Amino acid sequence: MTGCSRELADMLERRRIDICAVQETKWSGSKPKEIGSGYKMMYHGSPRTRARVGIIVSEKFREAVIEVQRYDDRLMKIMIASDSAKIHFFSAYAPHPLLLSICSAIRALGQETTAVPSKDFVIVAGDLNGHVGTEKNGKCAHGGFGVGERNADGERVLEYADAHELVITNAWFHKRVMHLLT
């Protein structure tokens, strides 16, 4: 366990966050790791890359995780059993637009989302590197709040969300500008 992972676990505990998607992790391999405060991180990544993903789960939800699927360095999923349905929680990371096109990342995410049974729930968390802007422009996934101008990658993210009946939660609630930018 590193100092940063312990710090992250402490912050998740303080904010009472039970499940968290992380991107650009430094650990390679595909195994669970205790990071402190009862949190376990499931991660996936090749030693040759730097853009790895992971999902951190609190002790409260560990027993509910019934499956972990690692697709590639940029996409993984855990399946959580609840009383009423299964929850498919994805951690996704699309490459920076200047490095690679995000089309393949969105396409892979779309394929895996399509494979989820319609009675189950889908949650996608991550960094998709698209700017969805401030305007809804007929997109059901956009709530009318956001920042900046929509770019082509943001349009792809919105098309993906609309096609799978998902919403971009960061664009549904009014927030201070400093909380919209990372």
**Those residues with Cβ within 8 angstroms of residue 126's Cβ, 6 or more apart along the chain or in another chain:** 21, 23, 53, 90, 91, 92, 93, 94
Does residue 152 belong to any structural domain of this protein? no
Does residue 149 belong to any structural domain of this protein? no
Single pTM value for the model: 0.87
Split into its structural domains, the chain has a count of 1
53 vs 35: CA distance, rounded Å: 15
165 vs 133: CA distance, rounded Å: 19
Give the per-residue pLDDT at 80. Answer: 97
CATH code for position 74:
3.60.10.10
Does residue 70 belong to any structural domain of this protein? yes
Does residue 182 belong to any structural domain of this protein? no
Does residue 32 belong to any structural domain of this protein? yes
Q: State the residue range of the domain holding 11.
A: 3-129
Does residue 168 belong to any structural domain of this protein? no
Does residue 156 belong to any structural domain of this protein? no
In tens digits, the chain (182 residues) has pLDDT values of 467 888 999 999 999 999 999 998 877 888 889 999 999 999 887 777 777 899 999 999 999 999 999 988 889 999 999 998 999 999 999 877 655 556 677 888 999 999 999 999 999 999 888 888 888 887 888 888 887 888 888 888 899 999 999 998 888 888 776 666 54
Does residue 178 belong to any structural domain of this protein? no
